Chains A and B, each alone.
Chain A
């Protein structure tokens, strides 16, 4: 085991260098998600059936195996033995301060969220890496297709999709849907997808960003293309939520949630365009991601709550004021981000691997 000493010490140094290099003030999409889940747990998660503890343990054990032996993210087969690899994986988790924060926070909430957190800290590896491509009809513009395909490989987006589907399942099962769930879920969906929203170039890596710069597109054109992709993705998820609400709660509340969803999309498009250009960080397929700006994350969180509160307020004019404000903000920030991209291209490129 002593021969692993330098390797384990190297892992510790890498983790701390990463934290210190970016500044210790970091916030993660996972933490935002957990906060949002904690808020929603009281109203939403209570409707889920209680799982027997044995099922949770079995699920976690299966996840452990999948996470430990996958082809990506797992320690190399040679020259490490099986025991060595387990030690390395455990050390990777243990030296990550995020692991302990997540463990503490999620233990307070529910086994469901705990399971999500376990996936997060262990960075679930790719199970299938194939050539087959599926996302998006072939007639979609290639840049949009590329963005959607990359987004569907992010755990954050998968969770946003999972929450949407769970809500849809809840609507199917429960004819008397709680109104509170209707206005909370769009907020949770938007927040859980915030890593992608706030890092539009994160899925492209540096090489993809270079291609954007080489194509005959202006900075504004590049940002508009990214915004379009985000709106398609978020619009699909929130559209499903709206459908469920229209179905179960009728037109009046349905329109309220539609306006809330539209406001959320516009706010996230605007703020996302701004942060994508100003505080970019990489996103990895089949991984949760840490990094980014505390301020950007908190502002996104705050922005997402505004349409939710407006929907809950019962005042029609407030909802329209929020929608108008969201539109103005999106218009202004997407335009400004497009102009800023030209001058900030080196900074963005330097922060993407």
Chain B
């Protein structure tokens, strides 16, 4: 197995954001992590990737404990975090050339992979734009390329398709499917149920910091399962609108 989390809890003072999440994602699987805003999805991803320290619980990636050897875990995972985690003062290209050597790639390997990724994501022409000056979509594609650059065995992607143009989103989807087919474990959070349903094999639905449903896509329409556990707000009549 590639991702294993047991009893993950995160409290911020009195507020419990994540209340005991257990997860297992096998190698070669794409797992969708769904839930409404504020349900604890991003907090869970941050705990799984070392950005937040869990109040309780354990995380293991490829059998390595995140708490015991965080650097080894970071070396083996790729992350597209919620806020993209880019340096405003570096260009998109510099982000990639900075990261490669830290993951053990040579400069030539880094440049070759970076160029290929940016061309595939339609970002090569804009590669010398500083991240602070780049559009949200450009920043997100860069963060996505950074997540893939070192060929990680495990990927965490927080809302990867939000704000991405359709052709790049399709290319990203193809890359992810190919990566999973080669044995990578991929963990995706998303609000877009249609996209998730086409991409993932298994899913968990989070509400109030707890997993309220999980299963395999294809057994039942994902929308039915989702709205069964996450009810929509009651209808309102907006007489003043329109």
Contact = CB atoms under 8 A, between A and B. Distances in A.
Contacts of B53: 343, 345-346
B5 interface: no
A211 B85 contact: yes
Interface in A94-143: 129-131, 133, 141-143
Interface residues of B, number: 32
B89 A150 contact: yes
B78 to A, nearest CB: 9
Interface string B129-151: 11001000000000000000000
A342 B50 CA distance: 10
Interface of B: 49-53, 70-72, 74-75, 79, 81, 83-91, 94-95, 97-99, 102-103, 128-130, 133
Contacts of A130: 133
B103 A214 contact: no
Q: Main SS of the interface on chain A?
A: helix
A216 B50 contact: no
Contacts of A342: 70
Contact of A217 (B79, B102, B133): B102
A153 B89 contact: yes
Which of B53, B71, B87: most chain A CB closer than 10 A? B87
Given A133-B91, A133-B128, A215 B74 contact: yes
Interface of A: 129-131, 133, 141-143, 145-147, 149-150, 153, 203-208, 210-211, 213-218, 285, 342-343, 345-346, 349
Contact of A145 (B52, B71, B94): B94
B85 A346 contact: no
Contacts of B72: 216
Contacts of B88: 150, 204-205, 207-208, 285
Given A133-B130, A210-B81, A214-B81, 15 more contacts: A130-B133, A131-B130, A142-B98, A145-B90, A146-B90, A146-B98, A150-B89, A207-B85, A207-B86, A208-B85, A208-B88, A211-B86, A214-B50, A216-B103, A345-B51
